[in-house]
Amino acid sequence: MSVTIGSGHEGNVREQINAYKARVKGGEMGALPSVLSLFVLTVLFSALNPYFLTEGNFANLLTQTATLMMIAMALVFVILIAEIDLSAGVTSGVAMALFIIMTNRWGIDWRLSILAGLLCGMAIGGIIGFFVAKVGVPSFVVTLGLFLGFQGLQLALLGDGGIYRIEVPEIRAIMNDNLPAWLGWTFLLVGWSLMALLGFYDRRVRSRNGLANRPISLMYSKLAIVGVVGAALVALLNTNRSTSIKEISGVPIVVPIAVTILFLGTLLLDRTRFGRHLYAVGGNPEAARRSGIKVVKIRIIAFVLCSSLAVISGIFNASRVGAVEATAGKAIVLSGVAAAVVGGVSLFGGRGRLIHAAVGALVIAIIDNGLGLIGLPAGINFLVTGGVLILAATVDAVSRKRSAAAR
């Protein structure tokens, strides 16, 4: 049986590119603005300061970004359903306080302690979800309340001004140690092959169902770009970036962890029933309900996922700092929201992907890093970051209007 209505997969490369342009014009911009600004910022800062594009700063930038990237990705799950979690940062702080008390005071195995921290995050997410989805309290209020309350809880757990050194080498290693060169290459190869396999698998299933596929050259180009960029990054990170005698090289351990979470989270959102329903609830909760989707359940799971991933960002932060403080996580949550929005995740719900949050976090980190290198006064980067955020939110609002007007 032949099908006469297309699916957007038909046509040659040129037609595909035109269709993409039309989508962008129609308001479906996705990560395009943030990728472009990433490019512009990189060119700008490397022109202004030669240190910006060095191996050392590059590795530094990646570890600086990891914590922000993780919390931004966590927030995507709740922003997608047009909610917010202002307590994501302090939730990670509370979970890490629990972790450090278990390892340092009680001498419990670090793996168990991490598990306890993650479970603690899940429980907090469940509580937020209950109040928001079941009781109907606005998430802004629930999580603002927790934001304040958990700061008190952190103080109670760790004491005023309490700082506990992390004694677990495995946790310290995440941000401070690097993969051996061969392992970095292996990781790239595995990830790239996975992407290629997934691509070929999708094409095969489509043609088995008698559906058109996009020109294969498009897929080859995509794989080539990812391969080349990935290889360049790994090669760059595998060169010695030390300024002293001791060699420092390799992909920071946090990178494969973050990329794996990004990959799994994207599979969850794009290819499972839960992901589809999450987008539906974000787009039109009433329509979702009428389609038989259990809206309350989806919302609660979204908050659980957010809080759990926030705990992972807390682990990253603790690893980088080398300690758990009573004030951990307080400052980062708004930057996380900013990163998601800058990356193209819509605060109106229903639109955005994890990769957008990751790119947005890179943009914000680059602004921070680059302006710091140029040596401008500290206040400037807040101004610039704030400006970029408002710009991004404006782009989102305008593109929404445009896609509404395009019909």
Residues that bind other proteins (CB under 8 A): 1, 3-9, 26-28, 205-206, 208-211, 267, 271-273, 276-277, 279-280, 282-284, 286-288, 290-293, 349-351, 403-404, 406-407
Any idea what DSSP says for residue 253? T
Question: In the bound complex, what is the minimum distance in angstroms from residue 403's beta carbon to other proteins?
Answer: 5
Place of tokens 């699916």: 7
Indicate the Cα dihedral angle 268, 270, 275, 278, nearest 10°.
Answer: 140
Element (H, E) at 325: strand 323-325
Question: In the bound complex, what is the minimum distance in angstroms from residue 25's beta carbon to other proteins?
Answer: 11
Cβ-proximal residues to 214 (8 Å cutoff; 6+ apart), any chain: 9, 16
Whichever of 58 and 348 has its CB closer to other proteins, that residue is 348
Any idea what DSSP says for residue 5? S
Question: In the bound complex, what is the minimum distance in angstroms from residue 401's beta carbon to other proteins?
Answer: 11
Question: In the bound complex, what is the minimum distance in angstroms from residue 193's beta carbon to other proteins?
Answer: 19
Helices 295-321 & 169-176, crossing angle to 10 degrees?
90
Whichever of 241 and 299 has its CB closer to other proteins, that residue is 299
Structure tokens at 193: 């092959």
Q: Which amino acid is at 383?
A: L
Whichever of 11 and 56 has its CB closer to other proteins, that residue is 11
Element (H, E) at 290: helix 285-290
Q: What SS3 class is residue 324?
A: strand
Whichever of 246 and 273 has its CB closer to other proteins, that residue is 273
Whichever of 319 and 399 has its CB closer to other proteins, that residue is 399
Question: In the bound complex, what is the minimum distance in angstroms from residue 2's beta carbon to other proteins?
Answer: 9
Structure tokens at 100: 């450090």
Question: In the bound complex, what is the minimum distance in angstroms from residue 80's beta carbon to other proteins?
Answer: 9
As beta bridge partners, residue 334 has none
Whichever of 50 and 292 has its CB closer to other proteins, that residue is 292
CA 320 – CA 301 distance, rounded (Å): 29
Comparing C-alpha atoms, which of 87, 76, 58, 59 is closest to residue 358?
76
CA 314 – CA 329 distance, rounded (Å): 7
Question: In the bound complex, what is the minimum distance in angstroms from residue 404's beta carbon to other proteins?
Answer: 7
Whichever of 380 and 406 has its CB closer to other proteins, that residue is 406
Question: In the bound complex, what is the minimum distance in angstroms from residue 5's beta carbon to other proteins?
Answer: 5
DSSP 124-193: HHHHHHIIIIII---HHHHHHHHHHHHHHHHHHHH-TT-EEE---HHHHHHHH-B--HHHHHHHHHHHHH
Whichever of 8 and 149 has its CB closer to other proteins, that residue is 8
